Structure 1
Amino acid sequence: MRVDALSSVCNLGVLDSLSEASISEILERWSSFCLITETIVKGDDASLSTSYSKFQSDVCSLCKYGLRSLVEEHFLLSLQGMLEKHGAPNFWKNFDAYNNDPDSEMVDRNTQEDEVELLLCKALEEMSLEKKYQEKCLLMLVNSLQLCQENNTSTEGHPLDMEKIFFSKYRLIVSSVLMTTMPCQFTEILHLYFKGRLEELSTIMAGDYDDDNELQDNNQPTNMDIDGTYDPKKTLENKLVRNIGMVVNNLRNLGFTSMTEDAYASTIFLLLQDKVFDLAGDDYRTSVLESIKGWMQAVPLQFLHALLDYLGDSMSDLSPKSTKSPLASTPSSCYQKSGKPSEGIIRWQLRLEYFAYETLQDLRIDKLFEIIVDYPDSAPAIEDLKQCLEYTGQHSKLVDSFIAALKYRLLTAGASTNDILHQYVSTIKALRTINPAGVFLEAVGEPIREYLRGRKDTIKCIVTMLTDGTGGNSNGPGTGDSLLEELNRDEENQESNSLDDDINTDDKQTWIDVQRWEPDPVEADPSKGSRYRRKVDVLGMIVGIIGSKDQLISEYRVMLAEKLLNKTDYDIDTEIRTLELLKIHFGESSMQKCEIMLNDLIDSKRTNTNVKATINRLSQTAAESWEHGASFDILDATIISSNFWPPIQDEDVKIPEPVDQLLSDYAKRFHEIKTPRKLLWKKNLGTVKLELEFEDKTLRFTATPVHASIIMQFQDQKSWTSKNLAAAIGVPVDTLQRRINFWISKGIVAESSSADSNDHVYTLVDDMADGGKSVTNNEVLVADDESETSVASVEDQLKKEMAVYEKFIFGMLTNIGNMGLERIHNSLKIFCATNPVYDKSIQQLQSFLSSLVAEEKLELRDGTYSLKK
């Protein structure tokens, strides 16, 4: 040290101006200063008091010769050396037991956390005492320098500034020494400590802590409420926060400020995340956002508020406008006693709010497919998700995640069209809640619409959802995806609008839109303006899948015709109600033919009553039964205006002579009443109620005329060959074999082989004890195959209507070459402006061209059609 001092003095160029006596005094004082410094740095409080006067004298003498900087540097280096040699090693030595096996799993986790707490508190206490002693040493140097400064009036500088500078340098030394020697597991120790303490605080707040047992071991002063009652939970809470505050304060004093904040911040966020997971779970029928907010205010914010108050970190209050937050619209109960929250608490609150919203949002987005499946029962979860997205603004995450889920789980060959449509309707309703403007629904719905357009039964399923009160869902009504609900809502809206006759509805809506206007989100399609997204119309979006309401109405006519033709009575109240709702949405002119079909049923009921009444009154003979005792009372006729009904499938069938005579008499009397109108019977349509009597039981069926004709042939002859039976009822053999399978499946008719390999023998089963095992004594409806419906399908009708344009299409492709769908459509509009007038939609044209491709008359490559080579 002495050599270094002399070198420094020489470098300063001081020796040339000093006398021998001055140099000797400098060397003597420096040796004394170094010795005392070494003594007090290694010593204790006693050495400080005994060495103070000598130390002060040495410092003043050295400063007099301009060696103040050397004195300061040497003293600080001495303190640093002591920290590096003894302080830091002794501090980190406390954690050796943990560092030896940092990845080991303790059997008792609570024991591990308790050990970490004891180790950390013990180490911090020892290091704080060491630091406190060195600060006393440093203060002795500061006082000595201040005394020198007072004696030397020419020296500038404020005593408080000097003390602040020295202690700032010292804190930097302590932090540097500890950080450079810190073991890698210390961060994990801090995390484990804060995790254990915050979980303990959470348990206390939840009321699950064993207050009585815990308090018996503590001799701490008790807390009393205003009324003098004892609050054990508050005592435990204050004690825990005080202990944590002491640890945090000690860590800060040692230079671990940022590391400490990161440790308890990450622990708070992990605890909040676990709480969100626990509260949210897989229950989508209750809102959890309020519970999360309450817990967040009660535990982490309560803890942070108490901790920051303990540490003295409360900052100036902020204005309410600058701290407005959805999660904290009103001050928490933990703030009410202490007034407005501090700036530090507000910052923490905003961080926790965002994290809570984002965590819950991610949970709900990951399970959005299941949530929408359960909609509307899952409406509370949708509302929570809406609030989260409004706060975080991460709508694109919802869109991307949900589209991926749809493509993987719904838009597959294994999913039925009916299920896809139900999910689409639920998706529209759910996303309409999240975003009424429909911006995100446009992006999410497009893959579903595109996929459904490729399904052949999409239109049929949509019509079923429109006309079936359960939405085609076997779960029954109330499933939330029936389109009848939307039709009813349209009617209610129309009725409510009619109450405002004196107000222009468009102007009123425009004013409401102006008041509520907001700019479109960045995810919005720029090609579709805000006016397009003003209202999310479920029915409109469903019809948009098809592309034309005409196709949907045509399918509805076919399904309505099937339903009316299979009616066993004239009860059509449900169909009338549905038609009135459809007229509201699609217009009366579009539904005119369907209305005439229903009127035919109403007229049929009245005409049927009149005809049978006149027959029974005028001709007792005609009213009497044939040999089996049946009368006109068993006949109910449905009389249709064929020009307004879809094409009816006609099939020749021979019915029993008495029934045929009954139909002839009925038609004759009808002609007399309705001259000049005549009836043309469709004998293959309608239903027949049968009662089959066997020796031990009687079976009842409701069957088609063809099925009834088949079984009635066995009344007089119990065995038939397939050729003879087909000739008897007037149908082809293959049709007979297909229809008779029903009676065979019920065990009423038995099938056997004959000598002719192309012929079969059908025999009536006499002993029903062995046969008819699958038949109960109930009425059974015999359903035809889909390919044998009573009404021609929309595809068949379209193909027949479009056949006239087939030559035009072939001619264009021959002369022009390959053509796209839109170009063919526009060309037909030009060339077929007169008879036959082309009035089909582009979707109908595409369906017809697809059938020509299937028949190998055309080829489709890269979106263009050409003639098959």
Structure 2
Amino acid sequence: MAFDLDIFDSLRSEAIDEILNSWGAFCACTDALIKGNGDLSAGSKLTPLVALLCKYGLRSLVEDHFLQALEETFKTNGVMVFWEYFEACRDAPPSEMLNFLSKEDWPQKVLSKALEEICLEKCYQEKCLLILVHAFQSHEENLSLERGDLDLHESSLISRYRLMVSALLLTTLPSHFPEILRFYFKKKLEELSTMIAGFGDDVCECQSDDLLINQQRKDSPRFSEMDIDDNFLEKNISKDNNLVKDVGKVVRDLRSIGFMSMSEDAYASAIFVLLKGKVNELAGDDYRNPVLESVKEWIQAVPLRFLHALQAYLGDSVYYDNSSSGLKSPLASSVSSFPGVGIPSELLVRWKLRLEYFAYETLQDLRIGKLFEIIVDYPDSSPAIEDLKKCLEYTGQHSKLVDSFISSLRYRLLTAGASTNDILHQYVSTIKALRTIDPTGVFLEAVGEPIRDYLKGRKDTIKCIVTMLTDGNPSGSGNSSDSLLEELNRDAENQEGADYDDNINSDDKQAWSNAECWEPDPAEADPAKGSNNRRKIDILAMIVSLIGSKDQLVNEYRVMLAEKLLNKLDYDFDSEIRTLELLKIHFGESSMQKCEIMLNDLIDSKRTNANIKASIPQTSQTGAEQEENDVSLNLLDATIISSNFWPPIQAESLNIPSSIDHLLSDYAKRFHEIKTPRKLLWKKNLGAVKLELQFEDQNMQFTVAPIHAAIIMKFQDQTSWTSKNLAASIGIPVDTLNRRINFWVGKGILAESVGTGSEDHVFTIADGMIDTNRNGITNGNSEELLIADEEGENSVASVEEQLRKEMTVYEKFIVGMLTNFGSMALDRIHNTLKMFCVAEPAYDKSLQQLQSFLAGLVSEEKLEMKDGLYFLKK
């Protein structure tokens, strides 16, 4: 307390005695009033004493003493008593404290009672303070002071008291009290949510007498608070509702003791916890139903109605003219009215924006965390993708999506254990899903980069891409919509639906269209990459870019098509023709010319086969010879190819039975007569042979490769062969025979034993030893098995083998360069070959093809590479 002591120098002793007597009486009166246990009668003595002390300029001393007395009393009778109510759970851990609060029913008993008592104490002290204020007012009115000055003094004194109350409580605040408040509001909101759900059941039963309809509504997975009639809710959830009254009284008491911010934080935290739980409940692992709108409806049904009723109870509902409110937010729907609320207050609108943003962010984080699974299920998970798109539009947290998804890709997909086919399917699904979220392609550019880099390092990437382009989804992995064949079909439909009369200057029109709808790139875009790459997300173009050039893809497709056509047992290739037409639309007719000739060869082969069989004379031979030759020739179908347009065919020596050789010669002779001067050169190791093996009790049919047929037919001549003799008779190496004959041994047709030499094996017909169950063959004569080439040997040379053969001519140039220069980098070798190898055959290979060839030379130990430079092997 500070006051001016110089005032006593000018006073007489009588005045000093009067001041001292008045001060003593004022202190005694103050103690009697504040500690009077509700008795305010002592306040009547306070007015003259205050007036006398103020007369001598001691007003500040009077105020300070009175407030100090209030503080000491409030600390004893208010603060200490208030915190004692919560002493029981002070040292309990959070989990145990929540159990204790639930068990003891704190929200209804302890918190309300403690707040009621401290507010009563505060209310009594404020009455005491008002007595002092009235005493000041009486003195100042006698001095004829302005009313504004009186009100200013009153508000200042009351503000000091309330600040003192808040300071006392906050300085002694136990750490667990905010958790108690959050628990209280959370429990009340859960009661409200349960109550609304109960209203929903009652409303459904009241609104319709049709029990079947009511049962269907209740059994629906989406039946919830959102089905409740708005008028019914507005009537039952208002400021007169008992639950709202209880909560409103607690909030009002907390505000009274200076805990306004703490109470708002507590019920805001409870609302957000409840909202987060609701989002998780509605969304969960269900990606096939949209949930965002359901969450927003729940926000209006529960927390907003609760807040509206609470504001009405507390008198906080200040309405405004939304045309002048100045609220601008992309989250704000029309604020003209809320269902069940009417025209909202500005505070309620702000709450709506906060809750909706939190819902968007929570659902966004939930979907981003499960984005890998969502994309695996795409397009069935399209609703989840749409929800995620809306959330990101509001939150703008696209970078969180990129970082999280790239981390998931590297941990779960881009690993040695994942097949290239699965990675490609996931990449296609990722492109489609992110195209929905971000049509500009900026985030796809960031997310797809690690996938593209990883796929470029896989040796079978090209083969898998071609398989997806031609066969759809043969392996059953991934969704059928991930097939690139569907993209080819969609591309063709778009081009067929275009008006070609208007496409004379299509490039100019496209350029003009791009200029009209130009927008700057997003801030997240990579400035090193041009925006033209993002204007149209072409899935096929992005997949082809993994390979490096379309020529490599076409070459791989040509090899795969040749393998497929050579292994066909009939002339049904309509699907191959359709696929080729689609590829011609996308890659151009010139690129697919050789493939088209290959299919034309099969068409011509079908026609030639029919002509040759029609030319068989019916009466030129008689008896058994005619029957044998006619039947055999009718069963022979040949695929006649133009060798200059097909990939190199794998040649393998093979001695076939003389009867079959005679048939081939007869067929070739008839072909020469029809197609003079062309002649046939048979590839005897290619094709398929249908066999019927006859045993004592059953016949079995097989469709096998010619080499398998040649092996088993040798056992017609003798029942036992050594591997060396059998290989020499068929005209193949022994190791090749040992691989191929395993098919018949595995079927139980042949038995294997060790011969005289350690490397010579003996094979015999296993009479009566066939285990039909073990080998998957059933008794009877109608079973036909079509076998694949289980050794993995193809009929056509692979692209790598073709490249190796074509590049062999440049090997001497490369060795000469490295001899002269010592060491060279890849790009330097590539540029040097382009510069000097201009004569036939001219060097026209890509950098990737050269790198593959050099890698082969390194593996053959002809070259070595270190720090990106190639050397001759020493």
* TM tier relative to shorter chain: over 0.9
* Inter-partner Cα distance in structure 1 for 2:629 and 2:665: 18
Name the counterpart of 1:220. Answer: none
Q: Conserved in 1, the CA contact under 8 Å of 2:238 and 2:309?
A: no
| Rounded Cα–Cα distance in structure 2 between residues aligned with 1:475 and 1:70 | 88
Counterpart of 1:830 in structure 2 is: 835
Matched residue type, 2:522: P
C-alpha change, 1:523 and 1:657, in structure 2 (3 Å) is same
| Kept in 1: contact 2:119–2:253 (CA 8 A) | yes
Partner of 1:740: 741
**Equivalent of residue 269 in structure 2, options 233, 245, 266:** 266
Query: What secondary structure sits across from 1:445 in the alignment?
Result: helix
Q: Is the 8 A contact 2:300 2:339 kept in 1?
A: no
Match of 1:33 in 2: 26
Cα contact 1:204–1:237 (8 A) shared by 2? no
What amino acid is aligned across from residue 271 of structure 2 in structure 1?
Answer: I
- DSSP 3-state at the match of 2:106: helix
Q: Sort the Cα spacing of 1:512 and 1:304 in 2 relative to 1 into closer, same or farther, 3 A.
A: farther
Match of 1:90 in 2: 81
Aligned-partner Cα distance in 1 for 2:340–2:297:
15
Of 301-310 and 796-805, the range deviating more from structure 2: 301-310
The answer (yes or no) to whether the contact 1:746–1:772 under 8 Å persists in 2 is no
How big is each residue's C-alpha offset from its partner over 1:208-256, in whole Å with a ceiling of 9 and x where there is no partner? 89999xxxxxxxxxxxx99999999547982212211111111011011
Is the contact made by 2:239 and 2:313 (CA closer than 8 Å) also made in structure 1?
no
Deviation (angstroms), 1:484: 0.3
Q: Paired residue for 1:694? A: 695
| Equivalent-residue separation in structure 2 for 1:231 and 1:735 (angstroms) | 86
Q: Distance in 2 between matches of 1:751 and 1:237?
A: 95
Aligned residue in 2 for 1:374: 377
> 115-124 or 321-330, which moves further after superposition?
321-330
1:232-381 correspondence runs (5 A): 233-234=236-237, 238-315=241-318, 316-319=320-323, 322-323=326-327, 325=329, 327-331=331-335, 334=338, 337-339=341-343, 341-381=344-384
Deviation at 1:353, TM superposition (A): 2.1
The alpha carbon displacement at 1:535 in A equals 1.0
Letter in 1 for 2:333: S
Contact conserved, 2:749 with 2:766, CA < 8 A, in 1?
yes
Say if 1:386 and 1:22 are closer, same or farther in 2 by CA, change over 3 A. same
Partner-residue secondary structure (3-state), 2:865: strand
Report the CA distance shift for 1:865/1:128 in structure 2 as closer, same or farther (over 3 A): same
Q: Please give the residue correspondences for 1:105-504 in structure 2 after superposition, counting only pairs within 5 Å.
A: 105=96, 111-112=102-103, 114-153=105-144, 157-207=148-198, 233-234=236-237, 238-315=241-318, 316-319=320-323, 322-323=326-327, 325=329, 327-331=331-335, 334=338, 337-339=341-343, 341-470=344-473, 472-474=474-476, 479-498=480-499, 501=502, 504=505
CA separation of 1:847 and 1:557: change in aligned 2, threshold 3 A: same
Distance 1:602 1:206, change over 3 A: same
Q: Is the Cα contact below 8 Å between 1:557 and 1:646 reproduced in 2? A: yes
Aligned to 2:46: 55
Give the CA RMSD over aligned residues: 2.7
Distance, in Å, in 1 between the alignment partners of 2:531 and 2:543 is: 20
1:786-810 deviation digits (Å, cap 9, x = unpaired): 5521101111100000111111111
Q: Distance in 1 between matches of 2:69 and 2:10?
A: 30
Find the aligned partners of 1:150 and 1:235 in 2 and give their Cα distance.
Answer: 46
| CA deviation map 1:835-857 (0-9, x unaligned) | 22111111111111111111111
Distance in 2 separating the partners of 1:146 and 1:667 = 130
Q: Is the 8 A contact 1:317 1:342 kept in 2?
A: no
- Structure 2 match to 1:14: 7
Measured after TM superposition, the shift of residue 265 of structure 1 is 1.5
Equivalent residue for 1:846, pick from 838, 848, 851: 851
Q: Secondary structure at the match of 1:702?
A: strand
1:725 aligned partner: 726
- Contact 2:749–2:765 (CA under 8 A) maintained in structure 1: yes
d(CA) in 2 for partners of 1:113 and 1:209?
30
| Superposition map of 1:614-629 within 5 A | 614-616=615-617, 619-620=620-621, 625=626
1:461-506 CA-to-partner distances (Å, cap 9, x unmatched) read 1111111132x43259x62211101101110111122366278544
Verify the 8 A CA contact 1:113 1:196 in the aligned structure 2. no
CA–CA distance in 2 between the matches of 1:547 and 1:226? 61
Alignment of 1:539-558 (within 5 A): 539-558=540-559
Q: Which TM-score applies when normalising by structure 1?
A: 0.92
CA drift of 1:386 comes to 1.4
SS in 1 for 2:492: helix
Alignment check: 8 A CA contact 1:284 1:381 kept = yes
Cα 1:550–1:817 change in 2 (3 A) is same
- 2:231 and 2:340 in contact (8 A); partners too: no
Alpha-carbon contact 1:297-1:332 (below 8 Å) kept: no
What amino acid sits opposite 2:387 in the alignment?
Answer: D
**2:237, 2:309 within 8 Å by CA — same for their partners in 1?**
no
Identity of aligned residues (%): 65
SS at match of 2:502: coil
1:108 Cα shift? 6.4
The amino acid that maps onto 1:417 is: T
Q: 2:533, 2:620 → 1: CA distance?
A: 68
Corresponding residue of 1:655: 656
With normalisation by structure 2, the TM-score equals 0.92
1:64 and 2:69 aligned: no
The aligned counterpart of 2:611 is 610
- Would you say the 8 A contact 2:571–2:606 is kept in 1? yes
Distance 1:382 1:500, change over 3 A: farther
Q: Name the CA distance, whole Å, in 1 between partners of 2:513 and 2:339.
A: 39
Change (3 A) 1:812 1:577: same
Structure 2: stretches of 5+ with no match in the other structure: 204-227
Q: How many residues align?
A: 845
Equivalent pair of 1:687/1:703 in contact (CA under 8 Å): yes
Deviation at 1:320, TM superposition (A): 8.4
Distance 1:187-1:623 versus aligned 2 partners, 3 A rule: farther
